Copies of this chain bind each other. A is one copy, B any other.
Amino acid sequence: MSKVKILALHGPNLNLLGQREPDVYGSMTLEEIDRALEDRGKKLGVSIDSYQSNHEGELVDRIQAAAIDFDGILINPAAFSHYSYALRDALSAAGLPVIEVHLSNVFARETFRHHSVITPVAEGMVCGLGPDSYLLGLEALVNILKKERR
């Protein structure tokens, strides 16, 4: 049985992690998060590809490509959560299990952040736990994929 492959997607401005507004988003950089995901992936026996973009279209392209090579998607849609129906349609079309994650507790911030157009097409959502949102989201995704494989 081939190794489980997971695509970790990071939405707009997440490349700035660690440098800016650390009180909201923490002091860890995106590279560090990606490395932590990789490490955790190794322990869980899955491989992980990471991709960040500030371009909605590039994320859509990447999701479409993923439908062929990957088994699941871990996504922090960042600001796109609130309006990118294109992203939603891409995830829905991909037909893979999706876990949505957010570093901050979006429900304790500005009203517009309380609504995500992505969650209804995801399996589940994790928010407010900082980098742990990613790591626990990854675990959840791997568990879902393992169940499917059985």
Contact = CB atoms under 8 A, between A and B. Distances in A.
Contacts of A55: 55-58, 60
Contact of A54 (B15, B54, B57): B57
Is the interface on chain A under 10, 10 to 19, 20 to 34, or 35 or more residues? 35 or more
Label chain A's interface by main secondary structure.
Answer: helix
Contacts of A92: 21
Interface string A75-90: 0001110111110111
Interface in A95-132: 95, 99, 105, 107-108, 112, 116-117, 119-129, 132
Interface of A: 11-13, 15-16, 20-21, 53-58, 60-61, 64, 67, 78-80, 82-86, 88-90, 92-95, 99, 105, 107-108, 112, 116-117, 119-129, 132-133, 136, 139-140, 143-144
